[in-house]
């Protein structure tokens, strides 16, 4: 019998489990259907990101913030992404102009007493919040007291409590809010008393912790304050019309801003793209108008018209912990200062606009007269000298009697790793034995805080335009001084400078203090003054303002040329 005949005789038997086959059919269709159905409500998941639109078109631009927006409450925030936005949608008493000098903003003028302690601000007429409420002196007092309140636990409370009388007592729980020397005799007048005269406190009025807040509005919003665009009030050049903490925001020109006539850019789309390569690609297609560069891209773009760089008020250095016997030896510390090639570090490793350190206080910070601090002081760091470094190290080892392995604490970013490895190999040439200890950022900060390190990578961002923001870290009782540096003469100079009313004498004391710190005591080994390199649309570059302290991007001054 052929197969055909067998079939005819017995019939074709259906395979058992057809129900399973149907199941598979149904299952497959179901899955496909579900996906298609998912596509319909899935349309909801395709949102326009915070910005995403190309810039330079119709006076609108798209910027890359690169970091998520953590907290838009000016009296508790600390991160630079949030403060960048706040700096453009809110405004304080004074604002920094393109030359980083304070100019009147919400205040139209200030009277300073002869002893430099009493400030009387007069607010401008007609300034309003975005809900129509007028901006009053009470708004400033309320915000400042909230920032100082111990329950707010604001890291930046010190930016007020270091200067204003009574503020530190309130912040540490030893005094009351009433004793803080801020008075509001009427809606347009704000009186503040400082602890000591300060040439740079006025510039700090542009610092976000000093921005005003509308008490009625804030209390009404409760826990929802600053979570959505409607839960914030605006008195700055822009209002925020959309906001997502991880995707960005949209800013639009504020039609109620007192100086709106001078605001050129109508709309700013702010995106958050963390990956540099992606950001550069987006810049190339016109979807972003700025993008920060790392060292590989700097070489590629350095000679193009889109390249822009500046130095910041940031110094990076190696700090020796003087509880370690070998690091107590001055020759050893001097060897650390001159035993590595600063120029190679900056040119080859960083290649991002940073410059080799010539002292401790970075370039650009104000000094005596019209000079910067660095111009007045000159270099206080000896040049790179591997031969001398070797001699000094050997001398130090003889004096101490040992050459132990010293650990170098470093962060786990790729830059920090490369840098510490570089230092390790340089220092080994002079006879040192260095072991690199890489820790996650949080952990490294903890170790630094408790003084649990021998050598450490350390950096500091200046909070205001004065050398004191760097120099007061080394007071023997400063909370950041966990490296056991003690020099009574240094303490005397700094304390006297903090209380001095003679500005000229004060600067001289600060210059002397830095000489003691770096030249005499070799208390630290400065590495570089940090810079930044960006791609910025040529049409924007001429007016581009990125303040080295406090502010950051100050879009009020930006104009799109041509």
Q: Identify residues 468-527 at the interface with another protein (CB under 8 A).
A: 479-480
* Nearest-angstrom CA–CA distance, 107 and 93: 5
Residue whose CB is less far from another protein, 106 or 354? 354
How buried is residue 43: exposed, middle or buried, by Cβ count under 10 Å (0-12/13-18/19+)?
exposed
* Nearest-angstrom CA–CA distance, 13 and 310: 82
Task: Rule CB under 8 A: choose which of 111, 278, 299, 425 binds another protein.
Answer: 278
* Nearest-angstrom CA–CA distance, 206 and 195: 20
Residue whose CB is less far from another protein, 12 or 58? 12
Residue whose CB is less far from another protein, 48 or 348? 48
Task: Rule CB under 8 A: choose which of 91, 247, 289, 530 binds another protein.
Answer: 247
Q: Residue 106 half-sphere exposure, CB side, CA atoms within 13 Å?
A: 31
The least distance separating another protein from the CB of residue 442, rounded to whole angstroms, comes to 3
The least distance separating another protein from the CB of residue 16, rounded to whole angstroms, comes to 9
- Our finding on whether 156 is near another protein (CB under 8 A) is yes
Structure tokens at 237: 């050049």
Residue whose CB is less far from another protein, 34 or 103? 34
Residue whose CB is less far from another protein, 230 or 449? 449
- Please identify, among the stretches 13-21, 189-197, 210-218, 369-377, the one whose residues bind another protein according to the rule CB under 8 A: 13-21
Binding mask 40-69 for another protein (x = CB under 8 A): --x-xxxxxx--x---------------x-
- Our finding on whether 157 is near another protein (CB under 8 A) is yes
The alpha carbon of 23 is separated from its chain's Cα centroid by a whole number of angstroms, namely 59
Mark residue 363 as left, alpha or beta (left: phi above 0; alpha: psi -120 to 50; beta: remaining).
beta
Contacts (CB under 8 A) with another protein, residues 183-242: 223, 226-227
* Nearest-angstrom CA–CA distance, 484 and 1: 103
505, 498 in Cβ contact below 8 A?
no
Q: 533 has which bridge partners?
A: 309
Phi, psi of 329 (to 5 degrees): -85, 125
DSSP H/E element including 53? none
* Nearest-angstrom CA–CA distance, 200 and 156: 17
Strands (E), 265-391: 267-271, 290-292, 307-320, 355-356
The least distance separating another protein from the CB of residue 117, rounded to whole angstroms, comes to 26
The least distance separating another protein from the CB of residue 85, rounded to whole angstroms, comes to 13
The least distance separating another protein from the CB of residue 334, rounded to whole angstroms, comes to 26
- C-beta atoms surrounding 457 within 10 Å: 22
- Please identify, among the stretches 212-220, 279-287, 337-345, 373-381, the one whose residues bind another protein according to the rule CB under 8 A: 279-287
Mark residue 116 as left, alpha or beta (left: phi above 0; alpha: psi -120 to 50; beta: remaining).
left
Mark residue 248 as left, alpha or beta (left: phi above 0; alpha: psi -120 to 50; beta: remaining).
left
- Our finding on whether 99 is near another protein (CB under 8 A) is no
- Please identify, among the stretches 99-107, 244-252, 255-263, 425-433, the one whose residues bind another protein according to the rule CB under 8 A: 244-252
Structure tokens at 510: 């600060």
- Our finding on whether 387 is near another protein (CB under 8 A) is no
Residue whose CB is less far from another protein, 414 or 479? 479
- The C-alpha angle 536, 82, 80, rounded to 5 degrees, equals 65
Task: Rule CB under 8 A: choose which of 1, 9, 15, 387 binds another protein.
Answer: 15
CA-to-CA separations, 284 to 128, 277, 301, 374, in angstroms, rounded: 40, 11, 12, 38
Residues in the chain: 562
The least distance separating another protein from the CB of residue 195, rounded to whole angstroms, comes to 18
Residue whose CB is less far from another protein, 235 or 291? 291
Task: Rule CB under 8 A: choose which of 33, 150, 325, 451 binds another protein.
Answer: 150
- Please identify, among the stretches 100-108, 125-133, 252-260, 265-273, the one whose residues bind another protein according to the rule CB under 8 A: 265-273
Task: Rule CB under 8 A: choose which of 440, 451, 502, 561 binds another protein.
Answer: 440
- Our finding on whether 305 is near another protein (CB under 8 A) is no
Residue whose CB is less far from another protein, 155 or 183? 155
Binding mask 26-45 for another protein (x = CB under 8 A): -----xx--x--xx--x-xx
Residue whose CB is less far from another protein, 445 or 496? 445
Residue whose CB is less far from another protein, 77 or 242? 77
DSSP β-ladder status, 405-411 and 94-96: unpaired
Structure tokens at 482: 């966990």
Task: Rule CB under 8 A: choose which of 57, 155, 183, 496 binds another protein.
Answer: 155
Nearest alpha carbon to residue 517 among 313, 385, 381: 381
- Our finding on whether 158 is near another protein (CB under 8 A) is yes
The least distance separating another protein from the CB of residue 281, rounded to whole angstroms, comes to 5
Residue whose CB is less far from another protein, 81 or 164? 81
- Our finding on whether 70 is near another protein (CB under 8 A) is yes
115-147 burial, b if ≥16 CB within 10 A, otherwise e? Answer: eebebbbbbbeebbbbeeeebbbebbbbbbbbb
Residue whose CB is less far from another protein, 426 or 465? 465
The least distance separating another protein from the CB of residue 78, rounded to whole angstroms, comes to 6
Structure tokens at 68: 């998520």
How buried is residue 328: exposed, middle or buried, by Cβ count under 10 Å (0-12/13-18/19+)?
middle
Instruction: Tell me the number of residues near another protein by CB under 8 A.
Output: 74
Query: To the nearest 5 percent, what fractions of the chain are helix, strand and coil?
Result: 40, 20, 40
- Our finding on whether 273 is near another protein (CB under 8 A) is yes
Contacts (CB under 8 A) with another protein, residues 441-470: 441-443, 445-446, 449, 459-461
């Amino acid at each position: 019998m052929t197969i055909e005949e067998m079939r005819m005789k017995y019939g074709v038997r259906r395979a058992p489990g057809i129900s399973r086959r149907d199941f598979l059919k149904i299952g497959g269709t179901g899955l496909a259907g579900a996906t298609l159905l998912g596509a319909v409500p899935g349309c909801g998941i395709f949102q326009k990101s915070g910005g995403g639109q190309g810039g330079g078109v119709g006076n609108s631009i798209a910027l890359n913030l690169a970091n998520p927006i953590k907290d838009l409450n000016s009296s508790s925030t600390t991160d630079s992404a949030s403060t960048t936005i706040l700096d453009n949608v809110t405004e304080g008493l004074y604002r920094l102009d393109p030359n980083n000098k304070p100019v009147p903003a919400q205040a139209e003028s200030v009277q300073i007493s002869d002893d430099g302690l009493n400030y009387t601000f007069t607010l401008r007429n007609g300034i309003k919040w975005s809900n129509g409420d007028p901006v009053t002196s009470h708004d400033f007092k309320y915000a400042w007291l909230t920032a100082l309140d111990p329950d707010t636990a604001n890291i930046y409370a010190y930016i007020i409590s270091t200067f204003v009388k009574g503020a530190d007592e309130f912040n540490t729980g030893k005094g009351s809010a009433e004793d803080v020397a801020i008075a509001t005799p009427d809606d347009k007048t704000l009186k503040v008393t400082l602890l000591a005269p300060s040439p740079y406190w006025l510039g700090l009025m542009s610092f976000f912790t000093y921005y005003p807040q509308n008490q009625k509005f804030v209390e009404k919003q409760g826990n929802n304050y600053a979570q959505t665009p409607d839960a914030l009030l605006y008195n700055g050049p822009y209002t925020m019309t959309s906001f997502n903490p991880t995707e960005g925001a949209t800013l639009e020109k504020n039609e109620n801003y007192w100086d709106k006539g001078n605001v050129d850019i109508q709309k700013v789309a702010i995106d958050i793209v963390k990956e540099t390569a992606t950001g550069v690609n987006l810049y190339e297609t016109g979807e972003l108008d700025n993008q920060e560069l790392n060292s590989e891209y700097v070489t590629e773009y350095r000679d193009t018209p889109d390249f822009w760089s500046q130095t910041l008020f940031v110094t990076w250095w190696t700090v020796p912990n003087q509880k370690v016997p070998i690091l107590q030896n001055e020759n050893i510390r001097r060897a650390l200062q001159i035993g590595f090639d600063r120029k190679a570090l900056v040119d080859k490793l960083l290649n991002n606009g940073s410059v080799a350190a010539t002292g401790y206080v970075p370039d650009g910070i104000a000094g005596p007269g019209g000079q910067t601090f660095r111009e007045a002081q000159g270099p206080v760091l000896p040049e790179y000298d591997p031969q001398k470094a070797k001699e000094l190290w050997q001398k130090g080892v003889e004096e101490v009697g040992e050459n132990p392995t010293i650990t170098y604490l470093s962060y786990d970013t790729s830059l920090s790793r490369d840098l510490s490895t570089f230092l390790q190999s340089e220092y080994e040439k002079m006879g040192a034995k260095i072991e690199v200890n890489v820790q996650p950022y949080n952990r490294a900060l903890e170790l630094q805080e408790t003084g649990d390190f021998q050598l450490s990578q350390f950096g500091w961002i200046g909070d205001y335009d004065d050398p004191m923001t760097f120099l007061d870290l080394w007071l023997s009782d400063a909370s950041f001084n966990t490296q056991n540096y003690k020099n009574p003469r240094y303490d005397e100079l700094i304390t006297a400078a903090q209380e001095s009313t003679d500005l000229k004498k004060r600067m001289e004391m600060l210059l002397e203090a830095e000489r003691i710190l770096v030249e005499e005591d070799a208390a630290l080994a400065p590495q570089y003054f940090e810079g930044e390199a960006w791609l910025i649309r040529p049409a924007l570059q001429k007016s581009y303002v990125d303040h080295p302290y406090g502010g950051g991007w100050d879009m009020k001054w930006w104009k799109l040329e041509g």
